[in-house]
Amino acid sequence: MTAWSWLRPGVHRRLDHDGLNPLTLPFMKVMPTYTLTGLPADQSTYHEDFLAGQVGGWINHPAVHTVQFRYGAGRVIMTTFSLAEQIAKQPIATAMLHDLVDHLASERCQPTLRANW
C-alpha cells in the first residue's frame, strides 16, 4: 500500500518549492496518523479549502489532513499534522504552524466550506 501526501502550494510559504509534493522524509515526524472525516472530498466546489491531504494506494482514496472553513463570521484552520507534539523538536513543525497562522490571518484564506454546527 502506498500513499501520495501533499500540501497545497502557496499555503506553506516557508516550505514552498518545486519539489515539495509529494511529502518525503523531512516530514516524517510531523505526518498525521489521523484524517479529518465527514468532509465533502468528492465535491470540487470545496477542493480549494483542503490545504493538505493524501491519496491512498491503488484505490485512489482521498484523505484530508488540513482544512479551512468558515465558522460564523470567522475562519478556522484544522489540521491533523503532529505540530504541537513536534514543535520543540522539528523545525519543519514550527514552519508549518507559522505558515498556517499566516495563511489564516491573510486575505488568501477565503473558505467556501462552512461549519454547520
SS (H, E, C) the chain: CCEEEEECCCCCCCCCCCCCCCCCHHHHHHCCCCCECCCCCCCHHHHHHEEEEEEECCCCEEEEEEEEEEECCEEEEEECCCHHHHCCCCHHHHHHHHHHHHHHHCCCCCCCCECCC
Q: Is residue 90 part of a domain?
A: yes
Q: How confident is the model at residue 1 (pLDDT cuts 50, 70, 90)?
A: low
pLDDT in tens, 30-80: 999 999 999 999 999 999 999 999 998 767 789 999 999 999 999 999 999
pLDDT in tens, 89-107: 999 999 999 999 999 999 9
Q: Is residue 112 part of a domain?
A: no
d(CA 23, CA 53): 10
Name the residue range of residue 43's domain: 3-105
- Number of domains the chain contains: 1
What's the pLDDT at 17? 84
Q: Is residue 95 part of a domain?
A: yes
Q: Is residue 115 part of a domain?
A: no
Residue pair 65/52 in contact (Cβ under 8 Å)? The answer is yes
Q: Is residue 116 part of a domain?
A: no
- Closest Cα partner for 67 from 11, 4, 3? 11
